[in-house]
């Protein structure tokens, strides 16, 4: 009772190979100017998702990303 598992913050995504939602592990793939993070199924290592981040740590860069998120949210 009252047990909490929040410490394990695993994202789960649907894996087409396992045909069930699985926890994912992240694998960063560095390339010129950007960083792609692959989300691999914890069990079978199928890539179930990716997201790319542009390495832009400047304030304007963060602002642009924030504005982009806002715009997508409105769309
Ligand atoms: Zn899988």
Do 21 and 5 form a contact (C-beta atoms < 8 A)?
no
Q: What's the farthest any 2 CA atoms get from each other in the chain?
A: 49
* pLDDT tens digit sequence for 5-16: 444 455 899 999
User: How far, in Å, from the CA of 37 to the mean position of ligand 1?
Assistant: 17
* CATH fold of the domain at 12-74: Viral Envelope Glycoprotein; domain 2 (3.30.67)
User: Which carries the bigger pLDDT value, residue 40 or residue 57?
Assistant: 40
User: How far, in Å, from the CA of 10 to the mean position of ligand 1?
Assistant: 14
How far is 57 from 46, CA to CA, in rounded Å? 31
Dihedral angle of Cα 6, 10, 14, 18, to the nearest 10 degrees: -110
Quote the pTM value. Answer: 0.56
Per-residue tokens: 75: 């769309």
Domain limits, the chain: 12-74
How far is 15 from 49, CA to CA, in rounded Å? 9
């Amino acid at each position: 009772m009252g047990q909490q598992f929040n410490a394990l913050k695993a994202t789960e995504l649907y894996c087409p190979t396992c045909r069930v939602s699985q926890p994912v592990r992240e694998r960063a793939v560095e390339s010129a100017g950007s960083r792609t993070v692959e989300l691999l199924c914890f069990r079978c290592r199928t890539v179930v998702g990716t997201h790319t981040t542009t390495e832009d740590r400047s304030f304007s860069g963060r602002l642009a990303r924030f504005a982009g998120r806002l715009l997508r949210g409105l769309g």
